[in-house]
Structure 1
């Protein structure tokens, strides 16, 4: 794990996410590091360490002041202040609404920076591969009392996220293992499912997408249930070193788990390797997707 030479402070996910948000908003505000640091009466190196996730001491009062300077809205500012208060640990359970507002999505910023994602899903189609109709049906279940406009806003945000893998320049690579149960669990109706499975089959033809189906006949390859998970990697620098440490993300009903200890990441990597070995090869997986899609509209 990288540390700063000057302080020996180990970077952690909450610190890196805090720094990433602050850097993005500083850029939006049209300020250089030197200009923003001057307004804080800091040296430029102090702000630079904060943006890189290596600050040795973070005060919430300073975060609120930076938010004021950058014009960061109140709820987002509260979320950043909550990130600043997280312990410097490698295993982080983000309980919804605990210090950080529930609607402050930590994962989105992480996903947007990823260069490679290894995903296992046993219940739902991964967000990066969902159709608008599938997203709309899910949101109507999660928030049945929300207005049509609010649901459509969420659908649009989900569609925007998918640019990560569909953009022309340097799209992220994803390796997905979907349990067959995802294909058989109806979200919306038969028409929605047929379109979703056809979309998955089409996505699997992209050069940066590897999609395999783990059939019911494979049983339980690991002998235990891992639940859905994603391993995110962030590319390498000019020296071939990771830009950031890889992170495991596991979404929960009341919060999200983030793991970055090397032993934990290796364990999930091995789990994904095992699931891939027991899954169908790519052509049979694509064939199964198209076959089940036809069954929905038969």
Structure 2
């Protein structure tokens, strides 16, 4: 069996991406061995779902897991085993978001933190990376009725911390946001909060690495009518582009090339149907004035 080359992981890579990359390497080893996930699970006396979760990077991988899997796959090159073991060790470190306690979409935050670019379509809300603290608080309170004041404050803090990716002067996230007009028209919190949010949206749209486009009502039917989605892309070619679909109780991550291509084509259609960046900025500015006039 020809064993794949395992490249060292830079120390700057966050634990979510380490875990994801390690899972990809383990999948390659299994496929080179010609084994199914079910066969591996039987050999190790574990569930097939555990093997799947290890390979898709959704489960923490221990060094013991790596050792056992390398044994099953007959990996004899100690350099490969040592590299994978080191990746496993680093993947169990905690990212900055763990300091805020239990975060429901921590996997996504880990990917977003390391992404080079992000394409977002939002149907009913201003994207999280572009929200003001007041708007984020009102969104959290409205969408999570049982949340305590502490819960809301924690989630808003996490959201504001995430925004550092688009304000980083050295390595800002390239953000492209297509926002349905309904997100600009729905009152979240108050008219004053909406006016403030629209003004901030305009300011963000002036940044060279941020593009904001509005999809107006008169476009009619469009590819985004089935709901919001995000497409994350990374600098390292080892890290596959990922489509993120947020759910109420669980999220979905699509990494198969065909899935990513399908959503990428959908996004291109949304971009073409939306107002261009300049007209979108003018549109949002008018909406801001309308909200301010009603305060």
Normalising by structure 2, what TM-score? 0.69
| 8 Å CA contact retained: 2:54, 2:61 | no
Matching of residue 9 in structure 1 with residue 4 in structure 2: no
CA–CA separation in structure 2 for the residues paired with 1:197 and 1:149: 26
CA–CA separation in structure 2 for the residues paired with 1:272 and 1:286: 19
Aligned residues: 232
| 8 Å CA contact retained: 1:17, 1:109 | no
Matching of residue 263 in structure 1 with residue 281 in structure 2: no
**Alignment gaps of 5+ in structure 1:** 27-42, 54-62, 77-100, 237-241
Q: Which residue of 2 aligns with 1:89?
A: none
Matching of residue 283 in structure 1 with residue 257 in structure 2: no
- Deviation, 1:254, is 2.5
How do residues 1-298 of structure 1 correspond to structure 2 at under 5 angstroms?
A: 4-5=4-5, 9-10=27-28, 15=55, 17=57, 45-46=80-81, 48-49=83-84, 103=104, 105-222=106-223, 225-236=225-236, 242-298=237-293
**Alignment gaps of 5+ in structure 2:** 7-24, 30-51, 64-77
CA–CA separation in structure 1 for the residues paired with 2:146 and 2:292: 30
Q: Which residue of 1 aligns with 2:74?
A: none
CA–CA separation in structure 2 for the residues paired with 1:13 and 1:290: 45
CA–CA separation in structure 1 for the residues paired with 2:249 and 2:150: 26
Per the alignment, do residues 145 and 228 of structure 1 end up closer, same or farther by CA in structure 2, a change over 3 Å counting? Answer: closer
Per the alignment, do residues 226 and 143 of structure 1 end up closer, same or farther by CA in structure 2, a change over 3 Å counting? Answer: closer
CA displacement, residues 84-136 of structure 1 (integer Å, 9 cap, x when unaligned):
xxxxxxxxxxxxxxxxx884621111111110001101011111111100111
Per the alignment, do residues 268 and 291 of structure 1 end up closer, same or farther by CA in structure 2, a change over 3 Å counting? Answer: same
CA–CA separation in structure 2 for the residues paired with 1:279 and 1:13: 38
Per the alignment, do residues 296 and 116 of structure 1 end up closer, same or farther by CA in structure 2, a change over 3 Å counting? Answer: same
CA–CA separation in structure 2 for the residues paired with 1:291 and 1:138: 22
Say what the alpha-carbon RMSD is for the aligned residues. Answer: 3.3
Per the alignment, do residues 180 and 15 of structure 1 end up closer, same or farther by CA in structure 2, a change over 3 Å counting? Answer: same
